[in-house]
């Protein structure tokens, strides 16, 4: 193959010189013209361009030899000194043309090599990022999972919960950084895809509101959500990307606002037809604002502007990702802002309106699962996971609910356990020794009873193509690590039709019997505890409030019970007013 490649240019050189010779004989020869180089120049040029320096030189030499030794017509080509000069000039020019073409060939080879190297480096970067993300997510799953378990444990003291919250927040920040780096590299590699799904707009906005309102309250800001009345109830969009853009813009609004409010608005710009509409989303804040000269740059990766407080760390990737996502979804994003007067980030998106809604309600309410509803079989669940800490985490989540559990530490053990024990559902890690989760899933699903066992992939693989590959490999569901406990319970509900019992929580607004807080109640309660309760209530942090109240119970059980009732009924406003009032009276 290589030899052919090397010989071919010389064959071409001989062919083009042959052709040129033929042309010299006819029609030039027939016309009685003695201009040998008219045909040889283009021939040498073509040979050199095709094959580079050596082919050009061979072409030049052949042409000279033909002129010197072959004269099929009656007209000799070498007749006078001018012809010798012609040969000399032709030889020099042929050599120069060959050298130039050689240099061009070398430059082209170098450019191809550089391109190949860059492509190899780029794909190595993608593989590295995917691996790094996998390796970071695996321990993060244990860190966040156990932190959340401890936060919810009744034994944890208020002080401990405060510290656990710090660990959880730092873990979440690290996770979002990993996700951002992965997203931006996927965008750069052109691998980002759109995954449209139907969503109820009202649910989505409320989900975002309840997710973000705690953070807004923690910063002492107000949060408003305004939805115009003419909005369609269901739309078809890439929900994941829409949610990410909105939470990112709201998180920025909170980050860059000291006082005032943050608001989220959704409206219809135009209804294009009964099946589609153009929606406008707006996130407004009363924060530091952005100078007009910086407003375009902040949408580029790694761009941050100089006016932000030094405490506001960030990667500068968030808005670049938002822009890419919005544009991928067929929309436009922009900002209107004035330094010191706040910012308005907006984006408009085309959205399809499904003819008939097939959207079901969210599977699980956000309350704490405490057990299984009665009258259900005792389900057998197999945990397949090579990392001890992640096996332990799943066990901690599932064992108290009364499942029968077994563990496998690799794909082969999972297959063996499946054959002996016939679990109802297998939690399947993917990257494992001996045989991996994909291979184990294939073997199980291809077996006679395989279809009866549900397989849920629990994996730190984060890329969309990996998710598709895992689902195509036979897994019934895919959950990305780090996961939330609600995702685990949600998968059980979806795959096995399980019904859960939730912690009794009467969230309906109402009063707490005859209980009302007054200054006498607080007399014997340490000031530190009251301050902690005030801080927790201001953050609407129900769990932290309950922790403090548990300590208050030791001092005054009636007061503790009354306060607990107020928190459980979500009467934070009333509790805050009462505490504030009482502390003022006490301090007088």
Site for ligand ADP in 413-432 (CB under 6 A): none
Nearer to ligand ADP, 183 or 234 (CB): 183
Angstrom distances, CA of residue 255 to CA of 134, 351, 537, 586: 28, 29, 21, 35
Residue 97 is a binding residue for ligand ADP (CB under 6 A): no
CB of 252 to ligand ADP, least distance (A): 4
Site for ligand ADP in 271-330 (CB under 6 A): 285, 287-288, 290, 298, 303-305, 308, 314-320
Q: Which is nearer to ligand ADP, 335 or 522 (CB)?
A: 335
Is residue 443 a contact point for ligand ADP (CB under 6 A)? no
Q: Is the Cβ of residue 164 or residue 290 nearer to ligand ADP in the bound state? A: 290
Place of tokens 């994996």: 459
Return d(Cα 177, Cα 33) in angstroms, integer: 78
Pick the stretch among 107-115, 249-257, 523-531, 546-554 that binds ligand ADP (CB under 6 A): 249-257
* Block residue for tokens 């919960």: 161
- Minimum distance, C-beta of residue 532 to ligand ADP, in the bound complex (Å): 31
Neighbours of 586 (CB within 10 A): 15
d(CA 554, CA 223): 36
Size of the site for ligand ADP (CB under 6 A): 20
Measured from the CB of residue 544, what is the shortest distance to ligand ADP in angstroms? 27
Q: Which residue's CB is nearer to ligand ADP, number 314 or number 450?
A: 314
What three-state secondary structure class fits 454? strand
Measured from the CB of residue 290, what is the shortest distance to ligand ADP in angstroms? 5
User: For residues 199, 200, 203 and 208, what is the CA-based torsion angle, rounded to 10 degrees?
Assistant: 50
Q: Are 256 and 313 in contact (CB under 8 A)?
A: no
Under rule CB under 6 A, residue 98 binds ligand ADP: no
The CB-side HSE value for 11 (13 A sphere, CA atoms) comes to 6
Residues 43-62 that bind ligand ADP (CB under 6 A): none
Taking the mean position of all CA atoms in its chain, how far away is CA 122?
Answer: 18
Cβ proximity to ligand ADP, 145 vs 289, nearer residue: 289
Q: What is the number of the residue whose Cβ is closest to ligand ADP?
A: 314
Of residues 329 through 388, those in contact with ligand ADP by CB under 6 A are 343
Structure tokens of 499? 């019904």
**At its nearest, how many Å lie between ligand ADP and the CB of residue 346?**
12
Q: How far is the CB of 285 from ligand ADP (least distance, A)?
A: 5
Q: Which is nearer to ligand ADP, 148 or 252 (CB)?
A: 252
Reduce the DSSP state of residue 522 to 3 states and report it: helix
Cβ closer to ligand ADP: 304 or 486? Answer: 304
CB of 345 to ligand ADP, least distance (A): 6
Closer to ligand ADP at the Cβ: 165 or 308? Answer: 308
Both tokens assigned to 398: 């599932």
Strand spans (E) along 32-109: none
H/E run at residue 392 = helix 388-398
447-467 exposure pattern, b = at least 16 Cβ within 10 A, e = fewer: eeeeeebbbbbbbbbbbeebb
In the list 256, 478, 489, 572, the residue contacting ligand ADP (rule: CB under 6 A) is: 256
CB 300 within 8 A of CB 268: no
Q: CB 169: neighbour CB atoms within 10 A? A: 13
**Residue ranges that bind ligand ADP, judged by CB under 6 A:** 252-253, 256, 285, 287-288, 290, 298, 303-305, 308, 314-320, 343
């Amino acid at each position: 193959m290589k030899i052919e490649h090397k010989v071919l240019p010389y064959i071409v050189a001989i062919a083009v010189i042959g052709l040129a010779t033929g042309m010299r004989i006819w029609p030039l020869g027939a016309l009685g013209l003695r201009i040998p180089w008219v045909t040889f120049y283009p021939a040498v040029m073509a040979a050199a361009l095709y094959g580079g320096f050596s082919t050009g030189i061979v072409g030049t030499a052949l042409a000279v030899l033909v002129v010197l030794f072959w004269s099929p017509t009656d007209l000799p080509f070498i007749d006078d000194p001018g012809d010798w000069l012609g040969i000399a000039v032709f030889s020099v020019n042929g050599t120069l043309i060959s050298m130039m073409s050689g240099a061009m060939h070398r430059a082209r080879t170098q450019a191809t090599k550089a391109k190949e190297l860059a492509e190899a480096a780029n794909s190595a970067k993608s593989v590295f990022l995917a691996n790094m993300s996998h390796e970071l997510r695996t321990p993060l799953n244990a860190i966040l999972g156990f932190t959340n378990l401890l936060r919810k444990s009744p034994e944890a003291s208020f002080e401990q919960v405060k510290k656990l919250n710090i660990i959880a927040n730092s873990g979440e920040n690290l996770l979002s950084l990993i996700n951002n780096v992965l997203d931006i590299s996927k965008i750069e590699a052109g691998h980002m895809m759109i995954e449209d799904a139907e969503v109820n707009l009202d649910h989505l906005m409320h989900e975002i509101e309840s997710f973000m309102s705690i953070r807004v309250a923690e910063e002492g800001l107000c949060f408003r959500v305004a939805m115009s009345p003419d909005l369609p109830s269901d739309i078809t969009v890439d929900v994941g990307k829409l949610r990410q853009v909105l939470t990112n813009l709201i998180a920025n609004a909170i980050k860059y606002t000291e006082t005032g409010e943050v608001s989220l608005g959704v409206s219809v710009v135009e209804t294009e037809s009964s099946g589609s509409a153009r929606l406008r989303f707006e996130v407004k804040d009363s924060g530091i604002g952005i100078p007009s000269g910086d407003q375009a740059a902040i949408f580029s990766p790694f761009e941050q502007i100089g006016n932000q407080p030094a405490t506001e760390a960030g990667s500068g990737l968030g808005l670049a990702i938002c822009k890419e996502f919005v544009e991928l979804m067929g929309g436009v994003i922009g900002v209107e802002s004035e330094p010191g007067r706040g910012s308005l980030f907006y984006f408009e998106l085309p959205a399809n309106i499904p003819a008939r809604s097939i959207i079901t309600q969210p599977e699980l309410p956000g309350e704490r699962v405490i057990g299984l509803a009665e009258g259900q079989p005792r389900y057998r669940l197999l945990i397949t996971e090579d990392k001890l800490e992640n096996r332990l985490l799943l066990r901690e989540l599932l064992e108290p609910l009364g499942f029968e559990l077994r563990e496998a530490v690799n794909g082969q053990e999972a297959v063996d356990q499946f054959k002996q024990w016939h679990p109802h559902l297998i939690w399947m890690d993917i990257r494992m020794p001996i045989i991996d989760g994909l291979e184990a899933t294939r073997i199980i699903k291809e077996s006679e009873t395989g279809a009866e066992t549900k397989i849920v992939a629990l994996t730190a693989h984060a890329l969309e193509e990996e998710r598709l590959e895992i689902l195509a490999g036979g897994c019934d569901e895919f959950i990305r690590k780090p996961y939330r406990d609600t995702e685990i319970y949600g998968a059980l509900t979806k795959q096995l039709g399980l019904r859960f019992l939730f912690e009794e929580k009467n969230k309906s607004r109402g009063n707490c019997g005859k209980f009302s807080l007054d200054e006498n109640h607080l007399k014997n309660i340490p000031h530190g505890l009251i301050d902690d309760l005030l801080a927790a209530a201001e953050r609407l942090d129900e769990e932290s409030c309950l922790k403090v109240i548990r300590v208050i119970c030791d001092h005054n059980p009636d007061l503790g019970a009354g306060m607990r009732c107020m928190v459980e009924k979500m009467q934070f406003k009333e509790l805050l007013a009462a505490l504030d009032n009482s502390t003022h009276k006490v301090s007088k």
